Chains A and B, each alone.
Chain A
Amino acid sequence: MRVSPVRVLRAAGMAYVEVLQNIPLLVWLVIAVFGLPEIGVIAGLFTTSVVVIALYQGAYMAEAVRSGINAVPAGQGEAARALGLSFVQSLRLVVLPQALRTVVQPLGNIAIMTLMNTALAAAVGVVELTAAANRVNLAEAQPIWIFVTAGLAYMALSGVLGLASGALERKWAILR
């Protein structure tokens, strides 16, 4: 939206990114979990956390995609429009495919960051991997082994994401 020729859309995109990125995720989680019921929005802890994390990481994704769009030479869009493609078609068929290819790696990193940030949901009472490890620890009193295991699980998951984004990047590499 921040590259849109429509001013209102551009402003909305900018507001979304700036508001979300400039407040820490943990603060957002606390605001959502304790604030939303106050204004009458009742949702489960899990649902609330998922939505907040998705919105928050979405702002980072949006910025990565924007940098990708800006990296596509202006002539590409011009050539598309000169051939009679509409603005939407030139964006969808020419500009975005090239933009996304250049930002596969940053998007992969953001995906990994999203995974890591799920640990913050433990702070507002969602039993995810870190909270689960904590509970096991309370019962078993083996902090090192339990948290190292949880850490290895995070590493395994992020390793899969990293390999996937690396493979995509190689597959979609564009010659310039």
Chain B
Amino acid sequence: MIEVRSLHKRFGDHTALKDVDLDVARGEVVVVIGPSGSGKSTLCRCLNRLETPDSGVIRFDGADLPAEGRALARLRADVGMVFQSFNLFQHKTVLENLTLAPTRVRGTSRAEAERNARELLDRVGIGEQADKLPAQLSGGQQQRAAIARALAMRPKAMLFDEPTSALDPEMVGEVLDVMTGLARDGMTMVVVTHEMGFARQVADRVVFMADGEVVETGEPSAFFDSPPRTGPGTSWPRSSATSGTAVILRRAGHGAPPEKG
């Protein structure tokens, strides 16, 4: 459904993406992990062209991503995006946040858009907050509203750019629960996150990035539980989420010499 071929992106002197390839099949949940500055957010933002790549190809449903304009707007309408900082429209109520794009872009009637919006808000568990302003909600509630806002466009795929990084720890769970539900319902998802537990339990495939490159990709079980390929005689804790990070960082060449071949 989403194909990325040899994507490059620079910001001034800094190379954010180097020759990145990625394929996401329909219904697949791909989790992109990696240290800060590894280019994973940039990759995510390139997928709906909020960031314009310098070179490379991105295809969505077999068609090249169009340049800025009407065609791109149509494509973005089909790809939901959830941001780290929620980005709910501050001057509109939660309900209006959900109905704005369906009425303006899809031409849905106000009544139908509101009915659909209320259903979605119920589904993410904040139905009673519909008439409040975003600032009156907790971070977790705002992010759930933002997910509902993206779903209101009935997207074919969803991009999540570090959806839980700006949240207090006690609110991370409620957002991940909503995302897990979405994944179970068969949504095609690209999730940039630091949540190893989520990657392990929900991902169909985990992509590990470092320094703008895809270093490794594989199924979460192989990724987190397989015996380490680096450093003989090292014992690896396998259960906790943090051990996953250790394994991955080690594999990326942080802390141990990478294995050849």
Contact = CB atoms under 8 A, between A and B. Distances in A.
Given A93-B104, A175-B135, A176-B135, A85 B73 contact: yes
B77 A84 contact: yes
Given A85-B73, A89-B104, A79 B83 contact: yes
B60 interface: no
B104 A78 contact: no
A84 B87 contact: no
Given A75-B83, A78-B50, A86 B89 contact: no
B83 to A, nearest CB: 6
Contacts of A89: 104-105
A114 to B, nearest CB: 27
Contact of A93 (B68, B70, B100): B100
Contact of A84 (B89, B101, B136, B146): B101
A174 interface: yes
A66 interface: no
A85 B70 CA distance: 9
A81 B50 contact: yes
Interface residues on A, range: 20 to 34
Contacts of A73: 85, 87
Contacts of B91: 97-98, 101, 174
Contacts of A76: 87, 89-90
Contacts of B79: 82
A79 B153 CA distance: 13
A154 to B, nearest CB: 34
B105 A82 contact: no
Nearest to B84: A75
B90 A82 contact: no
- Chain A interface mostly helix, strand, loop or mixed? helix
A73 B77 CA distance: 21
Contact of B105 (A79, A83, A101, A174): A83
B153 A84 contact: yes
Contacts of B70: 86
Given A84-B76, A85-B104, A174 B87 contact: no
Given A86-B73, A175-B133, A175-B135, A80 B89 contact: yes
Contacts of B153: 83-84
B113 interface: no
Interface string B80-108: 11010101111100000000110011000
A165 B148 CA distance: 36
B74 interface: yes
A83 B87 contact: no
Contacts of A93: 100, 104
Interface string A109-129: 000000000000000000000
B101 A83 contact: yes
A1 interface: no
19 contacts: A73-B87, A76-B89, A79-B83, A79-B87, A81-B50, A82-B50, A82-B150, A83-B76, A83-B101, A83-B153, A84-B78, A85-B105, A86-B73, A87-B68, A93-B100, A97-B91, A174-B91, A175-B135, A176-B90
